[in-house]
Amino acid sequence: MLQFLKRCEYWIFDLDGTLTQPVHDFAYIRRELDIAPDEDILLHLASLPDVQRRQKSERLDQLEHFYALQTKSAEGVDSLIRLLTRKQCRLGIVTRNTKVFAQLSLSVLQLSSHFSDECIIGRDEALPKPEPHGIQTLISQWGVSAGDVMMVGDYKYDLLAGRAAGCRTIHVSNNDELQWPALTDYRFNSLSELSELL
């Protein structure tokens, strides 16, 4: 298993909470959008009539723009991404955020040069995770087998999407209460731990 990790050339990352420190206040976002505390935000918006969906989506865009500007690097992200770039790995991002705000976050993190535009898949380019659509888009674009690809994320949706696409999965979290072993091939407390292993 570790040998695969070390020789893997195709890496897909979640963005918020994985490459970045978590900054989104989802409880506040739900209150602002009048969404129940346990309801999925994107599924809620998708279920609304056109006018309501457009209004709430505009407000969500405003909030996500604010959070993108607050972006801070997750521990070890710089060393990991630079290491993978030196190894000439292909890198992609699949996020439930929009592509525009993902690009803004990467710019704030000074990581834009490591991710080509076509390898950043947001919710407007693919069905949002836990659907595997975004991951499958990148696999197809790269012309590789799903079994050659690593999906890295901090939450269940990332792991579910990776599993559904047929990828290996890495769960990055230092919260022992958040564990999904059936969906996880490798688990690390931080990207620093992963970088050191590689």
Confidence of residue 20 (pLDDT cuts 50, 70, 90): very high
Count Cα neighbours of 121 within 13 Å in the Cβ-side half-sphere.
Answer: 24
Inter-residue contact 150 to 161 (CB < 8 Å): no
Average pLDDT over residues 84-90: 97
> 3-class SS at 150?
strand
Confidence of residue 67 (pLDDT cuts 50, 70, 90): confident
**Does the pLDDT value for residue 1 go beyond 80?**
no
| Type of residue numbered 12 | I
**Does the pLDDT value for residue 189 go beyond 90?**
yes
Average pLDDT over residues 45-57: 92
**Residue 159 class from Cβ within 10 Å (0-12 exposed, 13-18 middle, 19+ buried)?**
buried
Average pLDDT over residues 32-42: 91
**Does the pLDDT value for residue 138 go beyond 90?**
yes
Structure tokens at 7: 């020789």
Give the residue among 56, 25, 42, 44 at the shortest CA–CA distance from 123.
42
Return phi, psi of residue 116, to 5°. -70, 150
Q: Which residue has tokens 């935000």? A: 41
Average pLDDT over residues 151-169: 97
pLDDT of residue 157: 96
Average pLDDT over residues 32-50: 91
Confidence of residue 147 (pLDDT cuts 50, 70, 90): very high
